[in-house]
Amino acid sequence: MPNALIELKGIAKSFAGVHALKDVSLRIDQGEIHCLAGENGCGKSTLIKVMSGVHAPDHGEIYLEGQLRTQLNPFEAIQAGIQVIYQDFSVFPNLSVAENIALSGELARRRKWIDWRRMRRTAKEALAKVGIELDLDAKVEELSVADKQLIAISRALMQRAKLIVMDEPTTALTQKEVRALFDVIEGLKRDGISILFVSHKLEEVFALSERITVMRNGRRVVTEEARNLNREMLVYHMTGRQIEETHYEAANKTGKPLLRTDRLGLAGCFEEISLELYPGEIVGLTGLLGSGRTELAESLFGLLPATAGRIEIGGESVRIRSVRDAVRHRIAYVPEDRLTEGLFLQQSIERNLIVSVVDRQKGRLGMVDRRTLKATVRSWIEKLGIKAPSPLAPVKTLSGGNQQRVVLARWLAANPKLLILNGPSVGVDIGSKEDIHQAIRQLAAQGIGVLMISDDLPELRQNCNRVLVMKRGRLIGEVEGQTFTPELWAQMHEENAGSETEGKRGDSA
């Protein structure tokens, strides 16, 4: 039997009488890639905070390399080699690459003066361990998400990490960046470093993990070798219900397109974009970093007005120069980053829901009809299954899946004809993802046209009638949704490897 790096036995933790963890046991072996899976609120984050010393367990035992630790604080956990890389990576955007990697080590040694030459040398060695080269003087805020992640990993290695916990590490990465990260993780394993990988993306879980532990409602449901599980079994363990993979079938295209663009362009971002979207269709849009897909969505919503080409809504040529123009033509946009762009986190669910329709609820004297507003809020909470103790609860208290439902509800309340979804299920668990997909399909079945921007290939394959692929600001292909495989996606990009020069503006794709 392999040597256990860390072992938790019978861990229990409560907050204000609510049981976050109930008799949870977990063993991670040296040099093992272990996945921790489960829906939001199942106890994953609490368990990670227990093993990293942030929370002291109410009951249970923690063994580090066979030694019982009755008490563990964050400093002791780091000294023992436990490093946690959270979704925001905890990097300092205003500092350089070298400072982010090596400054904490300098401070830990309590030296009066910082040796900048030694710090740069240390940072260079750390980056070499993960096989990349970066400008050591570059400000981290100017780098891609993938580079920020590698900086966080490099910093962990400089702290002599034995276990690196990665919390949703691929949420904002492209397929190419995910493959590069997996190569880095496999390299860490070969060096004897253990990885605890937390992810909602089941394809990645199976591609990377050796063993999988599933949690549900604060308990460990199962720990099993990855090769002994399949997708259906894993989904059932995570959710407690059977979720079958299905495909959305749209009605036949009839009449005029709901949306038509003719050689649409935005200087430095995209050009020559001609597409059609019919009522009841779900059309996917995907592409690599710099493809221009997010800019195209923002252009259709008036955030980045197009500088060339034409837009038609329902067969009529329209000018979309602002968000107000887009809303007037009944276009709604749900951004990828719901936390900073899509929600007022401190405000209540009710206020977030009504912000797009409050002007329509005014009576003759200009007063808002509170009764009608509350009925609207209740209706959308029920329709989208938003789980909350009260409509007055702050949005920040909701899970990722429920926050996404609130954003959807806000724009659906405005009765749109065209719904643009940028990363509709980013960061949500498998159960919430299925519920969101069902809601989107129901909307499309009612005649709403949906443009779904995503690099989650199973999401596109299951929900889209057609998928459009962008690269470097141009459309390079269109395929039927059900036939869209990773192999086809890679082939399309290889065939267009010599396409146009990449746009100036980045893309969150």
Burial class (CB in 10 A: 0-12, 13-18, 19+), 43: buried
| DSSP string computed for 204-264 | HHHHH-SEEEEEETTEEEEEEEGGG--HHHHHHHHHSS--------PPPP-SS-SEEEEEE
The CA distance from 496 to 466, in Å, is 19
Length of the chain: 509
The CA distance from 166 to 340, in Å, is 22
Q: What is the pLDDT of residue 481?
A: 85
Domain residue ranges in the chain: 4-239, 250-330+416-509, 344-414
| 4-239: CATH superfamily | P-loop containing nucleotide triphosphate hydrolases (3.40.50.300)
Instruction: Tell which residue, 408, 410, 419, has the closest CA to residue 300.
Output: 419
pTM: 0.69
Burial class (CB in 10 A: 0-12, 13-18, 19+), 278: buried
Say if CB 15 and CB 216 are below 8 A apart.
no
Q: What is the pLDDT of residue 243?
A: 77
* DSSP classification of residue 482: G
The CA distance from 339 to 63, in Å, is 37
- Write the CATH number of the domain with boundaries 250-330+416-509: 3.40.50.300
Mean pLDDT by 10 residues, the chain (509 residues): 89 88 96 92 90 94 91 88 83 89 71 78 88 89 84 86 90 77 92 92 90 94 95 90 79 85 95 95 87 93 95 95 93 75 78 70 58 82 82 82 80 86 81 84 91 89 93 91 80 63 41
Q: What is the pLDDT of residue 358?
A: 60
Instruction: Tell which residue, 149, 165, 132, has the closest CA to residue 51.
Output: 165
Q: What is the pLDDT of residue 375?
A: 84
Q: What is the pLDDT of residue 361?
A: 53
The CA distance from 285 to 167, in Å, is 27
Q: What is the pLDDT of residue 509?
A: 38
Q: What is the pLDDT of residue 352?
A: 83
Q: What is the pLDDT of residue 14?
A: 93
Q: What is the pLDDT of residue 263?
A: 96
Say if CB 470 and CB 285 are below 8 A apart.
yes
The CA distance from 126 to 161, in Å, is 12
Q: What is the pLDDT of residue 508?
A: 40
The CA distance from 28 to 42, in Å, is 19
Q: What is the pLDDT of residue 438?
A: 87
For 219-227, the CB contacts below 8 A with 24+ separation are 219/22, 219/23, 219/24, 219/43, 220/23, 220/24, 220/25, 220/26, 221/38, 223/26, 223/27, 226/35
